[in-house]
Amino acid sequence: MKEYDILVIGAGAGTKLVTPPSLIGKRVAVFEKETPGGTCLNRGCIPSKMVIYPSELLRLREESKRFGIEYPNSPSFDVASIFQRVNETVKQDSDSIPIAYDKNPNIDYYPKKVWFKGPKLITDGETEYTAKHIFVVTGTRPNLPNIPGLKNTPFWTSREALSPDTFPKSLLVLGAGFISLELGAAYQAYGCQVTGLTRGEVLKHADGEIKQELNKHLPFPIFTDIQFESVSYKNNLFQVSGKNKDGQTMVWEAEKLLVATGIRPNTDDLHLENTKIQTNDKGYLLVDETLQTTEPGVYAFGDVIGRYFFRHSANFEGEYLFEHLYGSSDKKPIEYPPMPEAIFTHPQIASVGKTEEELIQTKIPYYKGVNPYRSSATGMARLSHLGFVKVLVCKKTEQVLGAHIIGEEAANLLHQILMGMYLKATLDDYLGMIYIHPAISEITRNAFRKVREQKLKEGNS
């Protein structure tokens, strides 16, 4: 048996509990059954954004027509070289992680699959390992829908879509969430004919007005409310059969099929039955207010606990655990600040806090301010034809309860509101600022002005 101070299962977000504690003298062993860096680095946030950004540059040609700017020739680009650059960069970053660990005498990196043999005891089948603290950061993987024939076809997940052998002329996308909207939009911009298919609605968790605006400006056609019947692959073509909401049977064909219909936690191969660790009905690990599982000394964070599914939330949890266990003597429960999210599709979407539907359901009184991009000096300059900033402000405290943005630079625009929420800024604080004229941030200011207008109207009624 090998004994350490810390065992980390998963070298994605789990890296937050590897190098920092090693620098204060802790002996750390980290285990990774795939490539180090996790989903975000290898098949998620980073490679997808490296694919998406060049696709946005290609869209400029079409959008320039609003300004009377015409390009006589079609742009020349090599899709294969774009994906090659992405994968080479990602591989270089991933390969650098074990190299850095090898240089640290307090870290042992094991490229192995491990599981629990007993309480606070893990094994790779040959050697056993134990430690005072164990961190489970095994993340999630794609959840495949139960459609007859699907598993017998060479379908894609995001992993294959980010490193294609050849670029297809046509693509079917199952699902209408983050991955579907981002990769589908990018493939469409590169010249692929993309068609989306989903059992429910597009971006079902989003604020209602965001969904309405998105559906008016989808980056590729998406068929909703589909009851899937079968998937087949013949003569290098995928066929997906299903019934639409009117009960009509429809068949869609394409060279490739991307399945992005949700995720499931990587907990089913950890042999948790050998411990006291419990999961919920979907397999996500149950943790308390300090991120400790039901097995004392075993902690978990990131996607595998099912709270948030972002690398920035996992990083926050990892940094909390480091401070909680090895830093300050103040052992407070974790307190999440407002948690933002962004979808880098076209148009871009960013959100934080409650949706309007959630406020209505919970009967929280609120003011609403919605300002279109076009109702600003920058929007006029850009000839903005879509997008808005929406803010939901508590009537009692006049603090922001939620904010939802769709349009150019949405992810960047959100941070101004996000910081205000973190600092508990009120409506007067947002309106008391001086905004650069004519910056895009004036769209946010105008949304808060709409809130003030509603407040004054209700006060005078």
> Which residue segments constitute the domains of the chain, with CATH numbers given?
2-140+264-326 (3.50.50.60), 150-260 (3.50.50.60), 347-460 (3.30.390.30)
Report CA dihedral (199, 204, 209, 214) to the nearest 10 degrees. Answer: -60
Question: What pLDDT is recorded for position 72?
Answer: 84
Using the predicted structure, report yes or no on whether residue 441 has a pLDDT greater than 90.
yes
- Give the model confidence (pLDDT) of 169-227 as tens digits: 999 999 999 999 999 999 999 999 999 999 999 999 999 999 999 999 999 999 999 99
- Give the model confidence (pLDDT) of 108-138 as tens digits: 999 999 999 999 999 999 999 999 999 999 9
Using the predicted structure, report yes or no on whether residue 250 has a pLDDT greater than 70.
yes
The rounded mean pLDDT for the chain is 96
Tell me if 210 sits within 8 A of 349, measured CB to CB: yes
Q: pTM of the full predicted structure?
A: 0.95
DSSP 156: B
Question: What pLDDT is recorded for position 78?
Answer: 93
d(CA 253, CA 355): 36
Contact partners, residue 111, CB within 8 Å, separation at least 6: 32, 33, 36, 98
Using the predicted structure, report yes or no on whether residue 344 has a pLDDT greater than 90.
yes
Q: In the structure, what pLDDT confidence band is assigned to residue 461 with cuts at 50, 70 and 90?
A: low
- Give the model confidence (pLDDT) of 272-306 as tens digits: 999 999 999 999 999 999 999 999 999 999 999 99
